Amino acid sequence: MQRNRVVVIVLDSVGIGAAPDAHLFGDAGSHTLGNTAAAVGGLALPHLAALGLGNIAALAGVQPQAQPQGAFGKMAEISAGKDTSTGHWELMGVPLTRAFPVYPAGFPREVLAQFEAAIGRETLGNYASSGTVILDELGEAHVRTGKPIVYTSADSVFQIAAHEAVIPVPELYHICEQAREILRGEHEVLRVIARPFVGSAGNWTRTPNRRDFSVKPPALTLLDTLKAAGKQVHAVGKIEDIFAGCGITDAVHTEHNMDGVDQTIAAIRERHEPGLIFTNLVDFDAKFGHRNDPQGYARCLTEFDQRLPEISVALADDDLLVITADHGNDPTTPSTDHSREYVPILVTGPRLARGVNLGTRDTFADLAATLAELLGVQRPAYGTSFAALLGLDQDGARPRAG
């Protein structure tokens, strides 16, 4: 049943309905795909629909299929969080058993004082905010004074925004590295994030030079296991940052979703080593979920759907393609933060059985267990493989119908 190569594409924040414990996170009623579809009068996603997206949940405009072109289902998160790193780590077999600290009222004065002393500058902000809102509030003061903007969110993040003409990107990265070293122990946030921007008052624009300085996963992930076994782990987008480089054999960063798709297709066509091509497409979350823009979110989904045939055609005969997400970010709710949701799981490939219902998986880590079995490496401690449900034959013969 082993495969030579698997391509995993994470549609960042594309959740598919409130998880059973969503109310504990303030997310009761969240449904990123469903509420977005309703808000725009239906989604135009024919290729995702063909894979079975509409068979997972009722989505306006996305028709259920009598026999989807692959396997479909959804996964619940068991980790203590709903952020990007936590979701990705669990997808790769390491659920988070303790929550990282959050700072809804801002960071303690002693933390800011130590940070300001280290970088030789005072700071602005130090409160929870949307990234675009805080630029409107503090962008002019930052340009005038040269003080970096520090802010956070509902996630465990220490974000530093700076105009590229005021604090050049390399210097901003260095400042973030200093923050990362300070934020250890009691105040070890999950990620320090560089948020460079350009423009002028009323027209601030965040640039693609964002960079995440994450803590390392608390245990070895499937990526480490694959790398140790001599297999490729080719990271596309912010995957390398999310895993702090652990388990990555090589990586390419991207400027936007379509660049991420281009880089993924290029990797499929040009990199033939056994292993994993692992892509994160962040625009759903960064550009539309956090900005409460369901129309933009829907357009972004359509843009990806239109590229899906190119990805599928590029697959080798022995490849599998997995499409999933890491959390939700419902753009129709008052909150601009991530939402605790199920994530979709769609699996397709030339030798995959059609119409396979994977059901509701208990943990994102089921994906890691499945990939480990398919790629012939040791399974992680968490997760239950669904490889046997995929109808893949040992000899590569055409699979049975689902």
Q: What is the pLDDT of residue 395?
A: 43
255 in a structural domain: yes
Residues 141 and 61 in one domain: no
Residues 166 and 270 in one domain: no
Residue from 213, 212, 215 nearest 188 by CA: 215
Which of 214, 229, 248 is the last residue in one of the domains?
Answer: 214
322 in a structural domain: yes
Residues 208 and 225 in one domain: no
- Taking the C-alpha atoms of residue 324 and residue 280, their distance in angstroms, rounded to an integer, is 10
Does position 18 have pLDDT exceeding 50, yes or no? yes
Q: Domain of 168?
A: 109-214
349 in a structural domain: yes
Record the tokens describing residue 233, joined without a space.
């782990």
Residues 349 and 267 in one domain: yes
Record the tokens describing residue 393, joined without a space.
């034959």
Burial class (CB in 10 A: 0-12, 13-18, 19+), 365: buried
| CATH code (residue 20) | 3.40.720.10
104 in a structural domain: no
Rg of the Cα atoms in the chain:
21
Residues 220 and 209 in one domain: no
| CATH code (residue 155) | 3.30.70.1250
Does position 401 have pLDDT exceeding 60, yes or no? no
Residues 133 and 187 in one domain: yes
Chain centroid to CA 106: 25
Q: What is the pLDDT of residue 155?
A: 86
- Taking the C-alpha atoms of residue 190 and residue 213, their distance in angstroms, rounded to an integer, is 9
Strands 149-152 and 157-163: antiparallel
Residues 221 and 276 in one domain: yes
- Taking the C-alpha atoms of residue 181 and residue 198, their distance in angstroms, rounded to an integer, is 27
What are the Cα distances from residue 212, in Å, to 158, 241, 351? Answer: 10, 5, 37
401 in a structural domain: no
Q: What is the pLDDT of residue 394?
A: 45
Taking phi over 0 as left and psi of -120 to 50 as alpha, with beta for the rest, 119 belongs to alpha
Residues 84 and 168 in one domain: no
Residues 352 and 365 in one domain: yes
Over residues 265-319, the pLDDT tens digits come to: 999 999 999 999 999 999 999 999 999 999 999 999 999 999 999 999 999 999 9
Residues 243 and 140 in one domain: no
Which of 156, 186, 214 is the last residue in one of the domains?
Answer: 214
Mean pLDDT of the chain: 94
Residues 183 and 255 in one domain: no
Q: Which helix (H) or strand (E) holds 115?
A: helix 109-119
Domain count, the chain: 2
Over residues 188-221, the pLDDT tens digits come to: 999 999 999 999 999 999 998 999 999 999 999 9
Which of 186, 214, 242 is the last residue in one of the domains?
Answer: 214
Q: What is the pLDDT of residue 402?
A: 37
What are phi and psi for residue 242, nearest 5 degrees? Answer: -60, -40
Mean pLDDT, residues 359-385 taken together: 97
Residues 240 and 302 in one domain: yes
